[in-house]
Amino acid sequence: MTPLQLFERQTAHFKANPNPPLAHRIQRLKALREALLEHEQALTEALWKDFYKPPYEVEVTEFLTTLIELDHTLRHLASWIKPQRKPTPLVLIGTRTDVHCYPKGPSLLIAPWNYAVLLTLGPVIHATAAGCPFVVKPSEHTPHAAALLTSMIESIYPPDEGAVVMGGPETATELLALPFSHIHFTGSPRIGRIVMEAASRHLASVTLELGGKSPTYVDVSADLEAAASGICFGKFSNAGQTCIAPDYLLVHKDIAADFTRHLTDEIARAYVPGAGDADLASIVTPTHFRRQTELIDDARQHGADILTGGGADADSRRLEATVILNPSEETRVMQEEIFGPILPLVVVDNVEDALERISLRPKPLSTYVYTKDDAVVDRFSQSVRTGAVCKNTTMLQFVQPFGPFGGEGNSGIGRSHGEAGFRAFSNEQVVLRRRWGSWILRLVQPPYSPRSSWIARAFRKFT
């Protein structure tokens, strides 16, 4: 079926079923859960074929994370779906107001490759929970995982309710020309702009889950061993191809030497030297791989030191866990989202210096602070407009299902996960019922007279 045919079928289906019952949504979500577990082994193998993603990492960062989202939704959907009674101000006496969440309508989901399972199924879970038919386009860069996800989704949803369209930019462009009610896009800020422009033609609502440079500050008071371990996991799992990975480090000058030692020790403990460690995923395509090696070359040319790593193997597209010491502001690693296992470490004077450097860049998706001092965390929280500030940990905000998760400006628009994900696909519809007292409004209706004004002024006391 062409994208247009799918869209028309889903539109007709939605017209006939504008509010699928809770039991139906739950049934689909449970089937999705079952299919996910059934395909666990095959998906793990697919991700190995796609970019040598380590199987243990798949378990933690794909299956556990997706199941957290799925189970949270199954547990709470009944309460999210319930109409919410709102209080009645005195001026509205005699009325009752409820807010109902109804599905927005056929929705388009465009997924990235970096967490092919989690980030394709996440919006599928939320669209299903909200009762929206959907067309999902997985990324073309993880074809093995995408093929399995397609057969999984097609085994659960009839095309009127849920369908997969495979393809790259051309297919995405074709899909974006259709007047979907909501578009959920996860990917780069560059493509996010294209998506938003396309959505504006139909005034479709958007959730844009984008990326950017997430800073990590290591304070003078930090537990340096714990900081090195948390940063190492956040940065190098999935070989740094994570939207919320620490992108660059800002390290307080008084502990910089000690911390650097802890960081290199931690990398040596976690990974085998050389660019062949099976615990480090490879870079997804030769083009992406080339870009990573260019980033390292560029830093070298600007006189930065490679503290550890730097090795690369073009055949397996593997890159060593790499730390670059004090690259200048002009280097590409300090200008672009890195999205690979390269970590710039910049020594800063203090909290203010770190905040100043962060403010020079677009609003980050996440901000990490390693410190023992909550006042420092508060300082970051109040100063940086970002999706999440985490103290002494990385990545965990993603699996806090009570969320919400999302970015701001360059790092995204809207929120997803848990209830926020459900609401993104829902139209919050007010139902206001006049129960008695229809005469009240008549007091301020035409024919107007000085009395209307007197009454309107009297009403001001009851707002």
Q: Tell me the catalytic residues.
A: 209, 243
> Exposure of 394 by Cβ count < 10 A (0-12 exposed, 13-18 middle, 19+ buried)?
buried
Among 40, 45, 140, 160, binds ligand NAD (CB under 6 A): 140
Residue 120 or 260: the one with the smaller Cβ distance to ligand NAD is 120
- Buried b or exposed e, range 8-32, using 16+ CB within 10 angstroms: ebbbebbeeeeebeeeebbebbeeb
Decide: is 377 part of the binding site for ligand NAD (CB under 6 A): no
Residue 176 or 296: the one with the smaller Cβ distance to ligand NAD is 176
Contact stretch for ligand NAD (CB under 6 A) within 24-32, 168-176, 351-359, 450-458: 168-176
Which one, of 213, 243, 249, 219, lies nearest residue 231 by Cα?
249
Decide: is 134 part of the binding site for ligand NAD (CB under 6 A): no
Which one, of 195, 240, 218, lies nearest residue 351 by Cα?
218
Residue 20 or 404: the one with the smaller Cβ distance to ligand NAD is 404
Among 157, 339, 370, 380, binds ligand NAD (CB under 6 A): 339
CB of 351 to ligand NAD, least distance (A): 26
CB of 83 to ligand NAD, least distance (A): 30
CB of 158 to ligand NAD, least distance (A): 23
Instruction: In whole angstroms, give the CA distance from residue 39 to residue 308.
Output: 38
- Tokens at residue 374, please? 């909550």
Residue 336 or 353: the one with the smaller Cβ distance to ligand NAD is 336
Instruction: In whole angstroms, give the CA distance from residue 252 to residue 450.
Output: 69
Decide: is 285 part of the binding site for ligand NAD (CB under 6 A): no
- Tokens at residue 52, please? 């040598």
Instruction: In whole angstroms, give the CA distance from residue 154 to residue 336.
Output: 38
> Exposure of 109 by Cβ count < 10 A (0-12 exposed, 13-18 middle, 19+ buried)?
buried
- Tokens at residue 437, please? 């007292």
- Tokens at residue 375, please? 């006042």
Site for ligand NAD in 210-229 (CB under 6 A): 210-211
- Tokens at residue 231, please? 């940063």
Decide: is 195 part of the binding site for ligand NAD (CB under 6 A): yes
> Exposure of 77 by Cβ count < 10 A (0-12 exposed, 13-18 middle, 19+ buried)?
buried
Which one, of 19, 21, 152, 126, lies nearest residue 70 by Cα?
126
CB of 213 to ligand NAD, least distance (A): 9
Contact stretch for ligand NAD (CB under 6 A) within 133-141, 374-382, 424-432, 449-457: 133-141
Residue 310 or 412: the one with the smaller Cβ distance to ligand NAD is 412
CB of 42 to ligand NAD, least distance (A): 21
Decide: is 123 part of the binding site for ligand NAD (CB under 6 A): no
- Cis-peptide into 404, omega within 30 deg: yes
Contact stretch for ligand NAD (CB under 6 A) within 34-42, 165-173, 271-279, 313-321: 165-173
Contact stretch for ligand NAD (CB under 6 A) within 67-75, 205-213, 275-283, 295-303: 205-213
Which one, of 336, 351, 178, lies nearest residue 250 by Cα?
351
- Tokens at residue 7, please? 């869209």
Among 114, 237, 394, 397, binds ligand NAD (CB under 6 A): 114
CB of 373 to ligand NAD, least distance (A): 29
Contact stretch for ligand NAD (CB under 6 A) within 90-98, 185-193, 274-282, 445-453: 185-193
Reported residue count of the chain is 463
Decide: is 50 part of the binding site for ligand NAD (CB under 6 A): no
Q: Are 77 and 422 in contact (CB under 8 A)?
A: yes
Instruction: In whole angstroms, give the CA distance from residue 268 to residue 308.
Output: 9
Contact stretch for ligand NAD (CB under 6 A) within 98-106, 187-195, 261-269, 306-314: 187-195
Instruction: In whole angstroms, give the CA distance from residue 43 to residue 168.
Output: 21
Number of chain residues interacting with ligand NAD (CB under 6 A): 29
Decide: is 331 part of the binding site for ligand NAD (CB under 6 A): no
Decide: is 188 part of the binding site for ligand NAD (CB under 6 A): yes
Angle 357-266-62 (CA atoms, 0-180°, nearest 5)?
Answer: 80
Q: DSSP secondary-structure letter at 197?
A: H
Decide: is 27 part of the binding site for ligand NAD (CB under 6 A): no
Name the closest residue to ligand NAD (Cβ). Answer: 211
The footprint of ligand NAD (CB under 6 A) covers 110-114, 119, 137, 139-140, 168-169, 172-173, 176, 186-188, 191, 194-195, 209-211, 243, 337, 339, 365, 407, 412
